[in-house]
Amino acid sequence: MARHGAELLPELPASLARAFETYLNSLRFERGLSRNSIDAYARDLARYGTWLNGQGMSHLGEVERTHVEAFALHLLDENLAPRTRARALVAVRRFHGFALGEGLAATDPASEVSPPQEGLRLPKALSLDDIEAMLATTGGEEPAQIRAAALLELLYATGARISEAVGVDLDDLDLETSLVRLYGKGGKERIVPFGSHAATALGAWVSRTRPSMAAKARSSAPAGALFLNARGTRLSRQTAWQIVKDAGELAGLEAEVSPHTFRHSFATHLLEGGADIRVVQELLGHASVTTTQIYTKVSEETLREVYATSHPRAR
């Protein structure tokens, strides 16, 4: 029996090839799409499969949201028509949604990824002044302010994802050596250093404020979490996100700030300061340096802006 569209797929690792073929067969036998429609999906997925294979990925469990975002940027670099780019990303999103629904993958890394638009293709990093303005909003002595200062300093100092930050336990933090153990996607562990400002804020939280919050926890509650809520249990991702958002609003920043904005800023500021991209890749916990190269594009854009406004022959 002919497998519509499958012959258009490139040579791929067996696991990826089976997933793509299963999806294409479902388009024919379950959705009843025409041969032309299936071939269009196959061409888009062939482009995606070739890119994934080039990143060294052999099965869907390795694909994260950042990889799908990097592929979207790759489509821009290919100088494809906007409609072609949008169609390709729609195919990728539908494929990953199918894979999740059929149990071919445990997550859907493409569910929140939208087609990149010209002029909006690069992550927006905060300036150092913006970062400092946000940190200044946490300068009080209230427990919530001390906790907010520690959280914001940790996010900016390490580039941690919000899930990684709230997942840190006390045993993962070493204030003497200024190192923290983070657990990324798939439980992958990495050790990241942090500077004196973060060490001071974290030390104040751990020694002065956290003990009183921990005392409110019931005996059955886990006591090892670094960041706690008012009930003495682990701080949720939602509450941590709100802490970041509130700091941005209190600082008077026009754009809405998210925890991932801190991660963008961490990477961009390191690269602008001369850090090697491979080191930044390790600090961010990226499986592929291609994902980290998104931030290189940010730095290049910043350089272009500075050049355009500063060089006498650029105006």
Where is average pLDDT lowest: 65-79, 158-172, 181-195, 256-270? 65-79
pLDDT of residue 84: 86
pLDDT of residue 139: 84
Q: Which residues are catalytic?
A: 161, 185, 260, 263, 286, 295
Q: What is the pLDDT of residues 122-152, one digit of tens each?
A: 557 899 999 999 999 998 889 999 999 999 9
What is the average per-residue pLDDT within 266-282?
A: 87
Judge whether residue 299 has pLDDT over 70.
no
Residue 158: closest CA among 242, 248, 270: 270
CATH superfamily of 128-309: Intergrase catalytic core (1.10.443.10)
Q: What is the pLDDT of residues 230-243, one digit of tens each?
A: 888 899 888 898 89
pLDDT of residue 120: 42
Q: What is the pLDDT of residues 172-231, one digit of tens each?
A: 999 999 999 999 867 789 999 999 999 999 999 999 999 988 888 775 555 689 999 988
CATH architecture, range 6-101: Orthogonal Bundle (1.10)
Q: What is the pLDDT of residues 82-117, one digit of tens each?
A: 788 888 999 999 999 999 999 999 999 998 887 655
Q: Return the percentage of the chain with pLDDT > 70, whole number.
A: 84
pLDDT averaged over the chain?
Answer: 84
Contact 153, 171 (CB under 8 A): no
pLDDT of residue 243: 93
What is residue 269's three-state secondary structure? helix
Judge whether residue 315 has pLDDT over 90.
no
Strands (E), 160-216: 173-174, 179-183, 189-193
Say what the pTM is: 0.60
Residue boundaries of the structural domains of the chain = 6-101, 128-309
What is the average per-residue pLDDT within 13-17?
A: 88
Burial grade of 14 (CB within 10 A; 0-12, 13-18, 19 or more): exposed
The alpha carbon of residue 166 and the mean position of all alpha carbons in its chain are separated, in whole angstroms, by 15
Contact 241, 162 (CB under 8 A): yes
pLDDT of residue 292: 74
